Amino acid sequence: MENKKPDTTINVGDYLVVQRQGYTKLHKLKNHGNLILGSFTVEMDNIIGEKYFDTFQMKNMPGSRRFYILEKVDEVNTATGSLNIEQSGADNRNIPNNAESQGLTKEDIDKLKGEELSSNNIVEQLINNSKTFSMKTEYSQEKYIKKKEKKYFEYIQIRRPSIRLLSQMFYRQDPTKTMGIRIDDLSQILTYANIHPEGNHLLYDSGTSGLMPAAIMNAIGSNTTGSLIHMHPGNECQKNAFVAMQFPQEQSDRCVNVNLYSVLRCFYQSKETFSFKNDSLEKPSDIATKTSETEGSESENRVMETSAVSEDTAEPSAKKPRIEENSQKRQWQLDNEKACRILKNKVDCLIITAKEHPVNIVKELLQFLSGGRSFVVFSLLKEPLQDLYFYLKSRVDIIYIRLSTNFMRNYQVLPDRTHPEVNMNTGGYILTGFKLAY
Amino acid sequence: MSFDGYKNVIKEGDTVILYLTITQVYCIKAEPKTVNKKGNFIENVFQTPYGALKCADLIGKHYGSKITLSKGWGYVLQPTPELWTITLPHRTQIIYTPDISMIILQLELCPGSIVIESGTGSGSLSHALIRAVKPHGHLYTFDFHEIRAETARDEFEDHGLTSYVTVNNKDVCESGFGDDLNNKADAVFLDLPHPWLVIPHTIKSIKDTGGRLCSFSPCIEQVQKSCLMLLKLGFQEIQTVEVLQTQYAVQQRSLPLLNLEFLKNEKDGSECEKKERETFKTITSIPPASLPGHTGYLTFATLPPIWARNLQISLNQNDINNVE
Ligand SMILES: C[S@@+](CC[C@H](N)C(=O)[O-])C[C@H]1O[C@@H](n2cnc3c(N)ncnc32)[C@H](O)[C@@H]1O
């Protein structure tokens, strides 16, 4: 698990972003693993040992209709590039409104797909069997081809996950996966929070598929000293994006995941147990002794969600020093104590991305923020942040409170065909402020 | 020296942000003396709408503390790249935080990244780039305007950032970023009038394992030329986007409620009674009466690693053929 970044080879165990035209999917590569891509089931073994950014063609597995294997390619034949279109209309005056224009049935197309997945071939057949294609204008012919090509596109590219790719992927799949945090929202949460590779950062995140802690740890960086306390409301925290980033061990160890209620209870009710140490960061030797006690059934116990992470925590158990059975603490307790020691010394940055009403959370967590530092609160709704605004105004130690939202627009840029993209969406709201020192 | 990391106490020579109100934010230097127009040393006094501030008094104060002015008060904050962007002395047009944020995320910068920027301009973006890549990354920034390059260099030194940034005084359209940077950069950012002339030079500077590029242009024609160049050179994921931020004023508003019920009945005298005026109270967020409707188009692209470039070039060629 040491720093994988410079490695350009695709290895078993890697998290990959599989790109097919505009579509992306996150995948953990296993030996003999399959990937479901739309209506295709793809056997992934042939990419093992190849390189990131390589392109692979989905080929029909001999003797099977639904299964595909991958073959590395050095060139790509796309329909739009190689089709020779002889005739097009000057405008669309002759195109009937609702005529049954496609001669091929769904069964015909499935058969084509089953014989050989070739977008080139399928698109050509679709065109030959279309009663209206030659009447279409050049522009709509191109649009038609692009649309069909996308559907039957047989090439995929393998990418290493990045915060950008993950953020765009989750949002495209379903904005609720990241609580509605769009890429521009995320980018601004990170800058206004003023994240440094040093210092302690505090996040409360009620569920962004791990995107928030991943993005913050990414900004804190590897081989730096900064740390993150990630508070979450559930039994276990969402970790998809975090594990996908495959941070080196030393980096992911600097993210402490704790349950919000449990860590605050520890902070208020067990001061003596955590405060015997006053250094804000753990020594590496401490981390090694914290072993995998993840099976506990306490409601507030933190259970690692993915196997990759539990491997990490399980690993040092062989070297685990023998401690008295009843004095041995569970992992989540140790994490709580570690977090509390950091909180006692205060943090340099506070980020709250909450589904819940933010006022009580901010009220509670602001005490841990050092004076002179900034905080950021995200909400999909404006009204809770308006309430927060008035709450913060009523305190005397908060200044520079700003509430903002973004308008983001993508463009299609092509000669003579440049225009904003047809579809647009709306982001959420961001409140920022600074805490005074007293 | 106040930009590198989190600081608590103001030291002599620090750049300090003075916050008075949301629209009155300034940067000042915590220095007892300053040079006046005639070149003489005089006491460093900053005039605010709420009275004069002796800058020497700031030394030793905590960042985040309240300071008294003769006719009011203000607060001192440690500069962040965001605060610097809104208070810095303009030597050129600058890029603002909404665009800067998108640039940093989209360029996939993190501590350790090597990033190239041109032009340096007023250094608004540079400060945020440096924060994103330090401590073991580096920013190489280029401006062909000698004084601007020099001023930026002095400023970085003054802000304690010298070890993270190299300022070059060079025309990057002509000769690119220099052989020293061959195969070094993870990302390149362009904010100059002819980005499509510089894009070919970026190929040499970006690592063989690939990297990201961003170009900021106010005009769509520039974007079109840049995108075509990116396509020709085998960049992928070419994407153009615009981000505009709206800042709200959160307010409580009271609206008078009109009672029209009494009109339905004949006068009985009661309508003359002095009734308490009914109002409806609501909390609302009001955008400014006028706000920037355009800053610039951000075009992003990925240069694939060398082993994937030829394939991408042929793919892009299809797209180019299509439109020609
Ligand atoms: C708009 S400013 C950049 C502002 C900067 N992004 C900021 O946020 O402060 C553009 C700068 O590019 C420089 N410039 C223009 N063409 C250039 C070239 N060919 N080589 C180097 N610098 C150039 C100009 O001198 C100017 O300072």
Contact state of A198 with B241 under an 8 Å Cβ cutoff: no
Judged against a pLDDT cut of 70, whether residue A300 lies above it is answered with: no
Beta strands in chain B (DSSP E): 15-21, 24-29, 33-35, 41-43, 45-48, 51-54, 66-69, 72-77, 114-118, 138-143, 165-169, 187-190, 211-217, 236-256, 279-286, 297-303
Cis peptide bond prior to A114, omega within 30° of 0 = no
- Out of 3.10.20.440, 3.40.50.720, 3.40.50.150, 3.90.1150.10, which CATH number does the structure's domain A163-298+330-435 have? 3.40.50.150
User: Any binding-site annotation on B143?
Assistant: yes
Q: What are phi and psi of B141, to 5 degrees?
A: -120, 140
Determine contact: A221 vs chain B, CB below 8 A: yes
How far is the C-alpha of A333 from the C-alpha of A302, rounded, in Å? 9
Dihedral (Cα; B209, B214, B220, B226), 10-degree rounding: -30
- Cα–Cα distance measured from residue A214 to residue A247, given in angstroms and rounded to the nearest whole number: 9
Question: What is the 8-class DSSP label of residue A184?
Answer: H
Q: Check the annotation: does B228 bind a ligand.
A: no
Rounded to the nearest 5 degrees, what angle is found at the Cα of B18, between the Cα atoms of B15 and B22?
135
Question: Cα B28 vs. chain centroid, distance in angstroms?
Answer: 19
- B281 bridge partner residues: B254
pLDDT digits (tens, 9 = 90+) for A375-428: 999 999 999 999 999 999 999 999 999 999 999 999 999 888 899 998 888 899
Percent of residues, chain A, with pLDDT higher than 90: 57
User: Does A119 score more than 90 pLDDT?
Assistant: no
Report which DSSP code applies to A318.
G
Per-residue pLDDT of B113-146, as tens digits, reads 999 999 999 999 999 999 999 999 999 999 999 9
Give the per-residue pLDDT at A277: 52
B64 contacts on A by Cβ (under 8 Å): 370-373, 434-437
Q: Tell me which residue in B65, B110, B297 faces A411 most closely, judged by beta carbons.
A: B297
Structure tokens at B221: 């024609």
Residues B68, B20 contacting (CB under 8 angstroms): no
Is the model more confident about A78 or about A252? A252
Among A184-188, A350-354, B74-78, B263-267, the range scoring the smallest mean pLDDT is B263-267
Mean pLDDT in residue range A150-166: 90
For residues A290 and A331, the answer to whether their CB atoms sit within 8 Å is: yes
Q: Strands B165-169 and B138-143, how do they pair?
A: parallel
pLDDT at B274: 58
- For residue A116, the model assigns a pLDDT of 74
Check if B280 contacts A (Cβ < 8 Å).
no
Check residue A303 and give its pLDDT: 35
Q: Angle at the Cα of B284 (from B281 to B285), degrees rounded to 5?
A: 160
* Portion of chain A with pLDDT greater than 70, in percent: 84
pLDDT at A79: 58
> What is the distance, to the nearest Å, from the Cα of residue A221 to the centroid of all Cα atoms in its chain?
17
Which residue, among A154, A167, A191, would best test binding to B if mutated, counting the most B CBs under 10 Å from its CB?
A191
- A272 band by pLDDT with thresholds 50, 70 and 90: confident
Tokens of A300: 């507030």
User: Can you say how many angstroms the Cα of residue A413 is from the centroid of all Cα atoms in its chain?
Assistant: 27
| Model pLDDT, residue B39 | 87
Does residue A381 sit at the B interface (CB-CB below 8 Å)? no
pLDDT at B199: 98
- In this prediction, residue B317 carries a pLDDT of 84
User: Per the annotation, does B186 bind a ligand?
Assistant: no
Q: What does the alpha-carbon distance between residue B190 and residue B129 come to, in Å, rounded to a whole number?
A: 13
Q: What is the mean pLDDT of chain B?
A: 93
Question: pLDDT per residue over B146-183, tens digit each?
Answer: 999 999 999 999 999 999 999 999 999 998 999 999 99
Cα separations in angstroms, B57 against B70, B79, B278, B304: 13, 18, 52, 54
Token pair in block for residue B324:
């020609």
DSSP B99-139: HHHHHHHHTT--TT-EEEEE--TTSHHHHHHHHHHTTT-EE
Q: How far is B111 from chain A (nearest CA, A)?
A: 5
The pLDDT score that the predictor gives to residue A393 is 96
CA distance A384 to A400: 18
pLDDT band at B95 (very low <50, low <70, confident <90, very high): very high
Q: Is B82 on the interface with A (CB under 8 A)?
A: yes
Arithmetic mean of pLDDT, B214-234: 96
Residue B2: band (very low, low, confident or very high) from pLDDT cuts 50, 70, 90:
confident
Confidence (pLDDT) at A121: 78
Whether B177 and B206 have beta carbons less than 8 Å apart is answered as no
Q: How far apart are CA A354 and CA B299, in angstroms?
A: 31
More confident residue, B208 or A282: B208
Residues 359-378 of chain A whose Cβ lies under 8 A from any Cβ of chain B: 370-374
Q: How confident is the model at residue A284 (pLDDT cuts 50, 70, 90)?
A: very low
Residues counted in chain B? 324
* Out of B105, B131, B315, closest to residue A163 by CB: B105
Q: Which of A108-112, A242-246, B141-145 has the lowest mean pLDDT?
A: A108-112
Sign (positive or negative) of CA dihedral B8, B10, B16, B21: positive
Going from N- to C-terminal start, the domains of chain A cover 88-153, 163-298+330-435
Q: What are the tens digits of pLDDT across the range B287-319? A: 999 988 999 999 999 999 999 999 999 888 877
d(CA A118, CA A109): 11
| pLDDT value, residue A107 | 81
- H-helix or E-strand containing A152? helix A138-152
Give the pLDDT of residue A131: 78
> Domains (ranges, CATH) in chain B?
15-79 (3.10.330.20), 86-244+293-323 (3.40.50.150)
Residue written as token pair 């006053």:
A278
Q: B79 vs chain A: nearest CA distance in angstroms?
A: 10
Q: Cα of B169 to ligand 1 centre, how many Å?
A: 11
Question: Can you read off the two tokens belonging to residue A126?
Answer: 């679709």
Q: How far does Cα B236 stand from its chain's mean position?
A: 26
What is the distance between the alpha carbons of residues A359 and A387, in angstroms, rounded to a whole number?
7
At A295 the pLDDT is 33
| CA A4 to chain CA centroid, nearest Å | 18
Is B323 within 8 Å of A218 when comparing Cβ atoms?
no
Closest among A400, A393, A340, A360 to A376, alpha carbons compared: A400
Q: Which of B25, B250, B307 sits opposite A386 (nearest CB)?
A: B250
Q: To the nearest whole number, what is the mean pLDDT of chain A?
A: 83
Region at A207 (left for phi over 0; alpha for psi -120 to 50; beta for the rest)? left
Give the model's pLDDT for residue A207.
92
Closest by alpha carbon to A338, among A252, A276, A392?
A: A276
**Residue range A88-93: mean pLDDT, rounded:** 75
Residue B140 has which token pair?
């190489």
CA distance B215 to B218: 10
Tokens 């690119």: give the residue.
Answer: B176
pLDDT band at B1 (very low <50, low <70, confident <90, very high): confident
Query: Does residue A307 surpass a pLDDT of 70?
Result: no
Q: What is the pLDDT of residue A156?
A: 92
CA pseudo-torsion sign A186, A192, A197, A198: negative
Which pLDDT does position B122 carry in this prediction? 98
